Structure 1
Amino acid sequence: MSKYYLSFARNKSISQVVEKGIGGRHSDAGFTIAVFGGTGQIGRNLLTRMGREGVQAVVPHRLTDKKVIHFKPMADLGQFNFIQFYDIRNDEATEQIVKYSDVVVNCIGRTYPTRNFALDEVHVHWPDKLSKMCKKHNKDRLVHMSAYGANSKADSSFLRLKAAGEKVMRRNFPESVILRPARVFGRADDYLTLMRFLPHVAGNILVGKRWSDKKAILKMPIHVGDVGQALLNACRMPKIEGKTFELLGSEAYYLNDLHQFVHGTMSGDSSDDNGEYQTQIRHVPIGMLKAYAKMQELAWFMGKPPLDRVLIELNHQSEFPTGMPGMKDLGIEHHHGKLSEIVLECLRPYRPHKNYYDTMDEIKLPEAVNVDEYLKPVDRIRSRIVGDLDKSLV
């Protein structure tokens, strides 16, 4: 078994650390990235961008070779090395993958427990083990994908686990770079397309609400392409060791408006003649939605449920800048994927046939929110959240 995992090993020389070639996918960027979780939504977008620039990749996965065959055309021949039937409990294989890579990226994550893995094993024990191996082999960089709002005092157990994973990363490998993306949207995502699984009765959408909420929930979703580019930049940008970045989209909307817009777009009738949304929002306790998601988890216990309790918690969390480094600090000045420009590409497969070929000119977008105006009454709350986030990393 060990010989199988060693089949991708290479001997480094001076020629392998110097970029060469004609540029683009037909070149060699001079370094290799080990991408754990490369078959996920964010991981495969990262691989696409690595292939365009000639970056070599080692991609361990649990799938069969036939299920990753569509990843191979992303890069030039031999640039991507797929290690099938990989298991994060196989320490020998993990150490060999880390040893023969220059940069290590951890995109492994899960919002629901399975029969094989508990959430604490994925989000805490695995980052602990991976960071120790990176420190042992003196890796150039370790990039870890976390989640927006990760805090040891968060109401969500998922965010508390994410904060614990960041803490062990910092303790074992202080130079690690941590990224905290907001809710990610794109084709076949678990955000916009997920909204069609939320309960609705007689055309009324049930949206959760906490009695302690004083303001409407603000969402700043980010496109998966921007997250992939930020992740690639974090692998090679100098002087960012030990930093934590928040990845937020460039557009902000209220959660209620997003729900109305998405359901209207999928039904092909987003507004009436007066431009008013027809779909009505009915607020219910978040606990009721989590109970509904629990039933979905039980019904889909053999696979991935369309809706789980963690997604309910993340969807009903406000997203706004907390003063931490962001997209601009990772060299991304302009977002390539804006919700107002490509939302129809994500939702078109769910539209009725008569409206399938509509363009963005025929879609009425929700009104964007001015983030600065939204934050004015909650500056005190915002400062407290920033303080809690800083303390959670100590």
Structure 2
Amino acid sequence: MAGLTVRGGLPILKLPSGSLGAAAIAAQPYSSEVKPRSINLAAMKRGKGGRSSFSGDVVTVFGGSGFIGRDVANRLGKNGSQIIFPYRGDHYKMMRLKVVGDLGQVLFCPFELQDEDSIRRAVARSNIVINLIGRGIETKNFSYEDVNVTGPAKIAKICREMGVKRLVHLSHINARAEPKTAFMKEGSKFLKTKYEGELAVRSEFPDATIFRPADVYGQMDQFINQIFSKLLRNGSKVPLFMKGQYTVKQPVFHSDLVTGIMNSLYDPEAVGQTYEAVGPDRFAMNDLIRYMFEQSGRNKEEWQFEITELMLEPRTFAKAFFGGVMPWGGNRTWNQFNIDTLERMSISDESEGLPNLTDLGVKLSRVVDKMPWELEPINNYKYLIIEDPAEVPKIDPPTPLGFVEERHMIAQRERGLINLLPAGIV
């Protein structure tokens, strides 16, 4: 048999003997005999660090177009990670994320939360997966169970099967099997499913790192937008459960939460750990809301700002119901506002003594240092030019609560709406 060879004796074409004039040339499938090998991404690191380098990490970020997802994407691009963004719906919503990394470092992958094959494609080449998918309201397509339990469990299961090394999952500070209640008899369904989602993720991926954030504030967030939403307030009146006097909140700055997530990716002690992502100070809801409205130019004297009792404001419940059932505008127009949102706003942030962001080396930002800048876009008087510094209104900052004060508030809250009666009647 005649044939063609390259230097070294490896045949590349074989010609059948006895029929050189015929055009019968058989190709040999030598390439199929080569066994695939696993790729060590860490050995492929390139550059000195930064967006034009490759850190050796390929990270899939579910929910990358959201409030927290955008910040995480920017940090990942900054340290030279290659990022895969699974998305559903219109891909144009993801285009703003192309600039977080250098050319070829930012990739997009269509997926559906119910489709395991699409999830598998999204994580197949990643050694880190971050699940930031979340929804404050239920829709006709996705229930709380779908988003908070079934979806995360499916992602965790596939990550384990595909050999993903690190998985980060986002929960809620008040996620409990039986969450505290305000006016809903069975408590928040959102918080219940968040807790069930934690258990489901732990069952499928025991080494997952779980974060339990309190209300996260920053520009384009849900916390500030919900507080100032017309669905909550009635004109200049802001209804709060028990006027917010017995509800304690511990909001966390968005950059602090993202720093904690990033630090956990490279901390071996974070494997299989649950962290509480809360701010450094605890405030009475009443005092915090008062500060936010005054800081945005909406005080009692000029804007007739007033905090009223939520249980005496049927209009707010009607608007919350409307916001939860509307088939459009749930995120950008109604800011994911429904009756369950009112319930979550009406209960205090409670710690279970788990590690927090400071254990990950995060220096926490205080509300009085960050909130004024975050409220500037909605400041009533931002168009004014103040020439004399003496004309700048003096805003009293919210007062952080001490241990004794908070215990007294908890005891008072147990009395219920009786607290709203004048002192002489009770």
Fold conserved between structures, TM > 0.5: yes
Q: Find out whether 1:33 has 2:64 as its counterpart.
A: no
Write the distance in 2 (CA, Å) between the matches of 1:249 and 1:361. 28
Which of 275, 282, 285 lines up with 1:255 in the alignment? 285
Alignment of 1:185-224 (within 5 A): 185-197=217-229, 198-201=231-234, 203-209=236-242, 216-224=246-254
Tell me whether 1:345 sits opposite 2:373 in the alignment: yes
2:258 maps to what in 1? Answer: 228
Which residue is 2:106 aligned to? 80
Deviations for 1:338-377, whole angstroms, at most 9, x for unmatched residues? 3212323322222235655679974514332134344455
Matching of residues 355-370 of structure 1 within 5 Å: 362=393, 364-370=395-401
CA offsets per residue over residues 255-300 of structure 1, 9 Å max, x none?
112222223333x243659xxx9632222329954443102233x3
Please name the residue that 2:322 is paired with.
Answer: 295
**What residue number does 1:55 align with?**
81
Aligned AA for 1:163?
Y
- The change in CA–CA distance for 1:142 and 1:286 in structure 2 (over 3 A counts) is farther
Tell me the distance in 2 between the aligned counterparts of 1:193 and 1:357: 25
Determine the structure 2 residue equivalent to 1:270: 299
Identity of aligned residues (%): 26
C-alpha contact (below 8 Å) 2:168/2:208 kept by paired residues: yes
Whether 1:93 and 2:122 are equivalent positions in the alignment is no
Partner Cα separation in structure 1 for residue 380 and residue 357 of structure 2: 36
Q: Is the 8 A contact 1:135 1:172 kept in 2?
A: yes
Q: Secondary structure at the match of 1:159?
A: helix
Greater per-residue helix proportion: 1
Distance 2:370 2:385 in 1: 14
Matched residue, 2:203: 171
Kept after mapping to 2: 8 A contact 1:209/1:286 = no
> What one-letter code is carried by the residue in structure 2 that aligns with 1:239?
E
1:44 pairs, out of 70, 89, 99, with: 70
Q: Is the 8 A contact 2:298 2:380 kept in 1?
A: no
- CA displacement, residues 36-84 of structure 1 (integer Å, 9 cap, x when unaligned): 1111111111001111111111110124333222211111221111124
Distance, in Å, in 2 between the alignment partners of 1:270 and 1:165 is 41
1:253–1:368 Cα contact (<8 Å) kept: yes
Aligned residue identity for 2:143: A
CA distance change for structure 1 residues 17 and 328 in 2, over 3 Å: closer, same or farther?
Answer: farther
Among 134, 146, 149, the alignment partner of 1:109 is: 134
The answer to whether residue 282 in structure 2 is matched with residue 282 in structure 1 is: no
1:331 alignment partner, one of 361, 366, 384: 361
Q: CA 1:377–1:201 in structure 2 vs 1: closer, same or farther (change >3 Å)?
A: closer
Counterpart residue type for residue 322 of structure 2: M
Q: Call closer, same or farther: CA 1:294–1:362 in 2, change over 3 Å.
A: same
TM-score under structure 2 normalisation? 0.77
Structure 1 Cα separation of the partners of residues 198 and 93 of structure 2? 31
**Partner SS, residue 68 of structure 1:** helix
1-structure distance, mates of 2:358, 2:120: 34
Would you say the 8 A contact 2:250–2:349 is kept in 1? yes
C-alpha change, 1:366 and 1:254, in structure 2 (3 Å) is farther
**Structure-1-length-normalised TM-score:** 0.82
Structure 2 counterpart SS, 1:178? strand
Show the counterpart of 2:191: 159
For structure 2, the 5+ residue unaligned runs are 1-35, 180-186, 412-426
The answer (yes or no) to whether the contact 1:193–1:346 under 8 Å persists in 2 is no
Is this contact kept in 2: 1:175–1:241, CA < 8 A?
A: yes
Q: CA RMSD in A?
A: 3.0
Which fold has the larger relative contact order, with Cα–Cα distance below 8 Å and residues 6 or more apart in sequence?
1
Q: Cα 1:290–1:231, aligned 2, differ >3 Å: closer, same or farther?
A: farther
> Structure 1, residues 121-152: CA drift from partner, whole Å, max 9, x if none?
11111112111112212321111101111111
TM superposition shift of 1:237: 1.3
Contact 2:241–2:346 (Cα < 8 Å) also in 1: yes
- 1:313-348 deviation per Cα after TM superposition (whole angstroms, max 9, x unaligned): 22222124431100012221x12x432123233222
Opposite residue 56 of structure 1, the aligned amino acid is Q
Secondary structure of 2:319's partner? helix
Distance 1:350 1:13, change over 3 A: same
